[in-house]
Structure 1
Amino acid sequence: MLEIILKSIVIGALGGAAIAAGAARMFHAPKLQGMGAFRTLGEMNACNGDPISHFSFGLGFLITSAAAALGTGALTQDVLHRVIPNWAASIVTRGGKKENLQNPANMLIAGAFIGMIVFVLLNTVSSLVPVSIATVARAILTPAANNMINLVMPLLFLWAALDSGKTTGLWSISLAGVMMLVSGNSLPGIIFGILIGNTAEEKGYKAKSTRTLIAVVIIMILMIAYFRGFHTKFLAMFGI
């Protein structure tokens, strides 16, 4: 157990520091090279620097990650991409200091601290569970975790998109439907819609940044559709 804790502290600190700093650096792209995931940036933008929103968002995925750890003994990508950066953001934005969200140094320190806690928690919990119980947990909790990701989270993000205005809501609904058809998960489409909608509302459709973002999203969706073989299914519907 002591070995697991020590390794979790080291790996959690290194991984948490890197992913949190990388998420902050993405706010400065293209002037600085970003190291984070595109979806992480979109989800953190959706929380808009509100400490409670960042904490509750990370908490939701901590629960699903804990379920996966109990059922399979492995940590999911949500730990690094969603839990740690959002909890780090929750710490650095306390007191209304939203600007700290874009500060790689502050996020690095907070991410290292959160990484140690999260890794120790998840790794020790999973190591204490007997194999027989873990098998039962996998059968029960894994479907619940999937429902959380595939059903609950898209609805929460869509709700936030609709509250942001007609433009953001329309883009989110439209792209959510497209991504549901293409990938079976509407959440990426909702995030794309939030990004495009907010950019369009702030800068207008004639702005170069808005047109570039729309073009990038379209290209990404087409690539996802191609590599998932959606085009063959679409053509098959018409007997081609």
Structure 2
Amino acid sequence: MDEFKRGMKNGIPIGLGYFAVAFTLGIMAKNIGLSPIQGFITSALINASAGEYACFMMIASNGTFWQMVMMTIVSNARYFLMSFSLSQKIEENTSTIHRLLIGFDVTDELFGLAIGQEGKVKPWFLYGAYAVAIPCWASGTALGIVAGNTLSASIVSALSVALYGMFLAVIIPAAKKDKVVFALVLISFILSYICKDIPISSGTKTILLTILISLIAAIVCPRRDLDA
């Protein structure tokens, strides 16, 4: 229970950021005709802004079920890479059931939270963070649907920036602790800017850059033993 409580405590800032971002997602859900309950359930099952946005876009354009599935897989493909990395961070004796439950909610911010912990991570720590993050994301979407289009454009724009600020709050502490992480973050920013005009989807560019930077980092600076 101590690990669960610690996970909840660490998950509060992420949950607050999720609530703000999901609120703007709820406004979009309102525009395509979803009810607050439908929006809540959707966000509870798809805790991913890009994937959920893709789903809503397909609904708005009357896309087929399979088109929606493919769009969701492509937009969320980076989570495969994060899951591979996270599988090395959690305790080795973690059962398959726990690994599947952990994989249910591997997002950018929660992944960063787990990777930033000292030593191995227990499943209950992640469950605690999930217990805060998922309800905040789902309730934010539902409240956004209720509010509809009553908010001004400037407020909606400000809320949408919250996700980027939250992600910076996740990576900055890790970058301050480790010079290699700092260098990789800086290189990632630079390469992302250089490649911004390449005519492929942003999700594909993110995946390719992640693989390239991670591969080079693994060769040049192999990770330390997490138990050391």
TM-score (norm 2): 0.38
TM-score (norm 1): 0.37
Q: Which has the higher helix share?
A: 1
Higher RCO, Cα 8 Å, sep 6+: 2
